[in-house]
């Protein structure tokens, strides 16, 4: 149990376009989901915390108008990279925390975004 999926697994887009990435908890409900970004040979950096039915909380330095997060249900959070530029190319990973109360986060397989 506790499987998290991401879609798409990879995407290539042109500069200036918007890209939506989905994060789903497949067999559990997740009130809280987290979005991370990982540049090559670097660690995972938390971008934002997403709570079902409320606004996301962004980490310092992350532009909320550029990285739109929607957590409309207990099993789905989406990250939209608006007006993407080459510097947004990265590996985006989500994690989901079970509503049941323990604090463990389950990570998705990641989405590789390449902006040309």
Q: Which residues bind another protein (CB under 8 A)?
A: 4, 6, 32, 34, 36, 42-46, 49, 51, 57, 60, 91, 93, 95, 97, 103-105, 107-110, 112
Of 84 and 93, which has the nearer Cβ to another protein? 93
Of 78 and 97, which has the nearer Cβ to another protein? 97
Q: Note whether 81 and 18 are within 8 A (CB).
A: yes
Q: Note whether 94 and 33 are within 8 A (CB).
A: yes
Measured on CA atoms in the order 78, 33, 73, 57, is the torsion positive or negative?
negative
The least CB distance from residue 66 to another protein, in Å, is: 20
The least CB distance from residue 37 to another protein, in Å, is: 11
Q: d(Cα 71, Cα 54) in Å, to the nearest integer?
A: 8
Residue of 98, 110, 115 whose CA lies nearest to 44: 110
Of 82 and 112, which has the nearer Cβ to another protein? 112
Q: Note whether 71 and 95 are within 8 A (CB).
A: no
Of 14 and 43, which has the nearer Cβ to another protein? 43
The least CB distance from residue 6 to another protein, in Å, is: 8
């Amino acid at each position: 149990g506790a499987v998290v999926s991401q879609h798409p697994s990879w995407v290539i887009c042109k500069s200036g376009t918007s890209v939506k990435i989905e994060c789903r908890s497949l067999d559990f409900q997740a009130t809280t989901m987290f979005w991370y970004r990982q540049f090559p040979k670097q660690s995972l950096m938390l971008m934002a915390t997403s709570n079902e039915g409320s606004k996301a909380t962004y980490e310092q330095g992350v532009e909320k108008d550029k990285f739109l997060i929607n957590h409309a249900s207990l099993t789905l959070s989406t990250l939209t990279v608006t007006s993407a530029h080459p510097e947004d190319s990265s590996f985006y990973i989500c994690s989901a925390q079970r509503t049941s109360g323990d604090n463990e986060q389950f990570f998705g397989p990641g989405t590789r975004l390449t902006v040309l």
